[in-house]
Amino acid sequence: MVAVERVFDWAAFAGRYWDRAPVLYKAITAPPFAEAEVFEAASRACEPGRVHSNVQFTVERLRQPAPPGGCLPQASDTSFDVYQDRLVRRLDGRRYALVIAAFHAFHHPQWTRERDFFAGLWENVGLPLTSAITTLFHGDYEHSPAGVHKDRFATFMFALKGRKRMRFWARRPWTQPVSTVLDYDAYLPGSFAVEVEPGDLLYWPSEYFHVGESVGPEPATSVNVGVPREEHRVLYEIEELLTDLDTQLLVDRDGTALTARLPSADAPLLAPGADAGGRLPSVLPPALGLATQALASESLRGRTVELSLRRWTAGGFEPVPPAAARRRLDDDTIVAGDARFPALWADAGPYRVCSANGHAVRTSMRAAELQVVVERLETGEPFRVGDLAAAPGTSDHPDALPGGAEGTRLLLEHLESFHGVRRVTDPRL
């Protein structure tokens, strides 16, 4: 029921299987995930002091509101094998599942390879409108904690350790008004299954109901990448635009809050028992028009440009790993850009926005001079920081980096913290 391929190629995959049917690729070369790095990322995600809302730990079939002490991976475990030995003793042999969401945000080199790997898919099917998701699954659980279910994502499962069975149904096997089923023995005759081994890549479209099952007593480790295919809502973009919005962006140039310009309503919009006749209350259409104008105003234009650039430079995988601490660059420091993932910039009216690896910074540099910097970084060739000193800006913006030599240096420092610029100790390298 599942096609098996030995040669992996994005163009062939997109033409034969994308949104069409599951396929198993055996022992793909250069996968984006390596066991040692995956464990390192898992231990970082579970570090003490982090908010573990993206970490789910299940013992047998019971999800733990707070994982039992010492049950999450620690850096001192050094590997999944050591972690497993510790859990066997702590859990007295009970089965467990560790699931970590937003997994790509915890390890920058791993995220870079993941983005590089999936760039081939985006070239064939387009960058997803909202981010792909990355989820770690590890454990010796009987089956997926969620049971049989359907996602809104097309899924790529990278098998890293142990053996795992994925069971599929081409359509929902039950008629009850529920979204998942934990006990599914009655539906097994209508299913088909495929076993994956370390090094395999299994893909299935979003329309398939599925469940993961353990094969044998040893724990299995896999990383799933989900690409959104269904149920996209524009609300997701609106929430991102307005979340954590600086309230100053909603203040007009004369200091008046944009919301103050909306018409007031002294009476309830809909009186109790009133029949609106399918029409909006008269006060709402002009309010909606003014709100739309506010969102298109100069005060929010920069934020919109910034979010767009961050989306493009994130390469389809958000949230992105955090930026590093900014370090000073001297004029004689030799740096180079990343030709694989070049910085992007765009004009936002009173300033420019420059972005790399899902982060962004505002600058007052002139557009032509900023373009020179970006083009130099695109080559990947080393250069001295002082060689790119721009002329002083004529109208530095208070919310942006200055122009001139100091502004160029500061811009490069920010891009270095975004991992878009690296220091070169030997220019011949």
Question: What digits encode the pLDDT tens for the residues 11-23?
Answer: 999 999 999 999 9
Do the beta carbons of residue 77 and residue 292 sit within 8 Å? no
pLDDT in tens, 168-202: 999 999 999 899 999 999 999 999 999 999 999 99
Contact 398, 389 (CB under 8 A): no
Architecture of domain 311-423: Alpha-Beta Complex (3.90)
Q: Given this chain, do its domains 3-228 and 311-423 carry the same CATH topology?
A: no
As a whole number of angstroms, the distance between CA 100 and CA 134 comes to: 8
Domain ranges for the chain, please list them: 3-228, 311-423
Look at residue 296 in the predicted model and tell me its pLDDT. 59
Q: In this predicted structure, what is the pLDDT of residue 53?
A: 78
pLDDT for res 158:
98
Give yes or no for residue 251 having a pLDDT over 70: no
More confident residue, 186 or 254: 186
107-154 residue pLDDT tens: 999 999 999 999 999 999 998 878 999 999 999 988 888 899 999 999
Q: What is the pLDDT of residue 429?
A: 47
pLDDT bin (cut points 50, 70, 90) of residue 282 is low
Distance CA 51, CA 208 (A): 32
To the nearest 10 degrees (0 to 180), the angle between helices 367-379 and 404-417 is: 40
pLDDT for the residue numbered 243: 57
pLDDT of res. 151 = 92
Q: Is the dihedral of CA 112, 117, 119, 125 positive or negative?
A: negative
> Looking at 88-92, 214-218, 390-394, which range is the least confident one?
390-394
pLDDT bucket at 270, cuts 50 / 70 / 90: very low
What is the SS3 string spanning 262-302?
A: CCCCCCCCCCCCCCCCCCCCCCHHHHHHHHHHHHCCHHHHH
Tell me: pLDDT of 396 over 70.
yes
CA distance 264 to 108: 49
pLDDT score of 217: 85
Going by pLDDT thresholds of 50, 70 and 90, the confidence category of residue 365 is very high
pLDDT digits (tens, 9 = 90+) for 299-343: 677 788 888 899 999 999 999 999 999 999 999 999 999 999 999
The CATH label, of 2.30.110.10, 2.60.120.650, 3.20.20.140, 2.40.390.10, for the domain at 3-228 is: 2.60.120.650
Q: Which pLDDT value is given to residue 415?
A: 98
> Tokens standing for 340?
């694989």
Q: 428: pLDDT confidence band, cut at 50, 70 and 90? A: low
Exposure string over 349-380, b if 16+ CB within 10 A, otherwise e: ebbbbbbbbbbbbbbbbbeebbeebbebbeee
